[in-house]
Structure 1
Amino acid sequence: MDAARRLLPPIIALLACGCAPQADDLLADYRARVQRAAGADVGNPVYPDVPAYPSHRDRAVAIPEVRGSVWELLFDLPDCELDHLVSERNSILGRYWPATSRFDYELRFRLRLDRCRARLGRQEPADEEQREFLERLEEIDAAKRDVLPAVWWALSYDSPEFEQAFSPAAPPLPPEAPGRRQAALAALDHLQGLSALLDAPADGLALAPLERALEQLAQSRYGGGLLRSLALLTGELDATSTALEHAAAAAVCPQNRPTPRGRVLHRVFNRYYAGKVQPYFAEVQRGGRAWLDAHARLLDSQRVAWPPAFERFRGRALGDGPDSLWQRWSAARVRHVEAWQRVLRQCALMPGTDTREP
């Protein structure tokens, strides 16, 4: 009775946390089973490096400063309703605005400036004073043209929330992680919707939903988890594929008929690959593809030159080119499928064939 009572706390803890096998445990167990069944110990996996998100210093884009003389022009244009905005920006609180508030301000400024220019542009200048007035507006427009895109970059890829989303401390995605994926993608979708405001500014922005989306993205740490998963899968699959390739080369089924070792491999394939590992592949594939596509759209909305450090990170972490983690994982997955096909075909145990023992 005492022994049973001592076992209750850890059992209850396991039930309470809903602890499921983690990805690294799942894949290590799978690799060990394949290697034992194949009779090939190929050593420890080699994992590709996970690219680190660039530091703020390396990813920042300078927000252009507007000269003081330009600000002075605004107070000569009371009809444009820009002077109150500038006073708000130059207040003590305005000087320490987060990127979300600065983006809201720049949208309101842009809208009112465009509205003022359009209204005055429809009128024929009555005198020299009005022509000078229009010239001042053009000067302000030129000075502010590059500010909004730089603030949009600061709000997105230069924000601490994006950095946290790619945290290197994030563990690999668990075998069942749809909640994290859905939260991260919903946050990116909200940001993508706001990118339309770069071309059609609004007179004010609902900051609470934007701030919630950024916080949701940060808390998900989905980008970091996905990169860890891709590196883990690549290393584990390559090592496991090597064991299967050794088995095929050693003619595990020399007469193209099932052997005891071939049948053990077939059971591992059905129970562990098809039953556990392949569903994890599917989750990583589905979530990862959607994540990369969402970032491709959001990056396409950027109007600034990407800093070199970010460009390198994007190529490895957010692209699907030859040097990307996504491409390396894809190649490892194809190799693994082909390795299983060679073994099962050699043993006449391919799915769809009669695998009953005579």
Structure 2
Amino acid sequence: MNYLPFLTANTGQLFRRFSRVVLIISILCFCAGCSQTPPEREVVEDYLWRLANVLDQEFESPGIHLHSYPEKRDMGLSLSTHSIDLLDFLSMTGCKLQITAAQKNSGLGRVMMSSQTFLYQWQFLNDSRECLDHLETEDPALYAQLQQVVAVKREELDRYAWLAVWGGPEMRHYYGVTQQWLSQDEAISLAEDDYRLLLTLIEFTQQIKRDRESTALDVGQYREPFELTLARLGQSNMGGKVLATVSDLTTLLTQGTKMLQRSKGRICPTGKITPNAKILHTVFLKFYIGKVQPYMAFVHQQTAPWFDQQHNLLNGFSLDVPDAFDEFQQKLALTSSDSLWAGYQQAVKSHTLAWQQILGECGLMPGGG
């Protein structure tokens, strides 16, 4: 009997099945590589594994908590739509405002990014001054109509500014979801020039809203720096990394604190150092003090001014933000009960206290002998 056709057919099937298995394994390995635990988190988890082992407790590494930025569809603000009759508008001879408005009505003008729309509204207010002076005597009716439009645009300029800073694609990318933690070799806070520029423009829009007669800043002076600042935000994912790092550190430290609290009175029941207490002390010195604390010090040093910057940029606006964003900005607040920074600070204090209590029971606190 000739087995060759049978073997050849089965060999082909086996090869195809083997190829599919290899492909699946390759994909799984690739995906595993993409979701690899950040090395900074591995250091903290290693410390907690050792702590759990000494304390004879279970430790299950929690998943990374992802903080997503509100979707574009949830970031809308109510804005008025005012227009001037085209024939009347074209009659405003001698007004530079004609050119500005014509740009908005062009094909490109109808698809402006949020930052460009803000700059347009600002330019409109600048150019309206000269035009109002011209129309006051030339065409009182059109003057009154344009005055109404300008009043609304002044009132809503801070809304356009908010949409440009917080509602645009740049900040959404900056706060994009990530599983990566902060690295000790990267700058975290916004560059001082970018930060000051954003604050200046935010303060300016509030000034315009408060004082209708205030002198407008020259939009041309700020157009390019503003766009460059937003572009730098859009090329970074630092906001997402800060949220991931602070949130995960809080969760992990809290787990460690609970383990220590459950072990009170068990490691040194008679108040004397036990063999297990010596091992615990080694974990404390070598892994917590030696490895975890230096990273925590870096996080505190770098993220404290970062949270301060974000807090100031948020508080520069005095308007009702969308509900979805209000929930998100509570995470960035410095004192809110939902603040990530306040929660992290409390987690650090609680973890420190738990160590002090358990080491104190064993007489292993520094200076305690």
TM-score (norm 2): 0.77
1:23 equivalent to 2:40? Answer yes
Pair 234,47 (structure 1): closer, same or farther in 2 beyond 3 Å:
farther
Quick one: higher RCO (CA 8 Å, sep 6+), 1 or 2?
1
Aligned residues: 324
Paired with 2:192 and 2:176, the residues of 1 have a C-alpha distance of 16
| The one of 52, 66, 85 aligned to 2:68 | 52
Partner of 1:245: 261
Matched, 1:322 2:337: yes
Q: 1:65 aligns with which of 69, 81, 106?
A: 81
Counterpart in 2 of 1:301? 316
Match of 1:4 in 2: none
Q: Are 1:36 and 2:62 an aligned pair?
A: no
The answer to whether the aligner puts 1:155 opposite 2:155 as a matched pair is: no
Give yes or no for contact 2:97–2:124 (8 Å, CA) kept in 1: yes
Match of 1:281 in 2: 296
Give unpaired runs (5+ residues) of structure 2: 1-36, 208-215
Contact 1:185–1:291, Cα closer than 8 Å, also in 2:
no
Q: Per-residue displacement from partner, 1:172-225 (whole Å, max 9, x unpaired)?
A: 223x1542x035776444322332332343242444432332232233312211
Change in CA separation of 1:170 and 1:255 when aligned onto 2, cut-off 3 Å: closer
Aligned mates of 1:135, 1:160 — CA distance in 2: 37
Question: What's 1:197 paired with?
Answer: 204
Alpha carbons 1:108, 1:201 under 8 Å: kept: no
Give the C-alpha shift of residue 36 in structure 1: 2.2
TM-align CA RMSD: 3.0
Whether the 8 Å CA contact 1:73–1:136 is kept in 2: the answer is no
**Residue of structure 2 in register with 1:83 after alignment:** 98
Do residues 112 (structure 1) and 121 (structure 2) align?
Answer: no
Once the two structures are superposed, residues 150-183 of structure 1 have per-residue CA deviations (whole angstroms, 9 ceiling, x without a partner) of: 3212211111111111111351223x1542x035
1:167 paired to 2:179: no
Q: Is the 8 A contact 1:35 1:41 kept in 2?
A: yes
Q: Structure 1 221/184 Cα, relative in aligned 2: closer, same or farther at 3 Å? A: farther
Structure 1, unpaired ranges of 5+: 1-19
Task: Give the % identical residues.
Answer: 27
Q: The residue matched to 1:321 in structure 2 has which SS?
A: coil
Matches within 5 A, 1:209-248: 209-248=225-264
1:271 deviates by 2.0
| 1:267 maps to amino acid | T
Do residues 141 (structure 1) and 157 (structure 2) align? no
Match of 2:277 in 1: 262
Q: CA deviation at 1:46?
A: 4.7
Q: Which amino acid aligns with 2:299?
A: V
Partner of 1:13: none
Residues 119-175 of structure 1: CA deviation (Å, up to 9, x unaligned): 579xxx7x7x6654542342232342344223212211111111111111351223x
Distance 1:41 1:103 in 2: 57
- The answer to whether the 8 A contact 2:114-2:167 is kept is no
Instruction: Give the counterpart letter for 1:58 in structure 2.
Output: D
Please give the alpha-carbon distance, in whole angstroms, between the structure 1 residues aligned to 2:274 and 2:130: 80
State the TM-score, normalized to the length of structure 1.
0.79
Report deviation, 1:257. Answer: 3.5
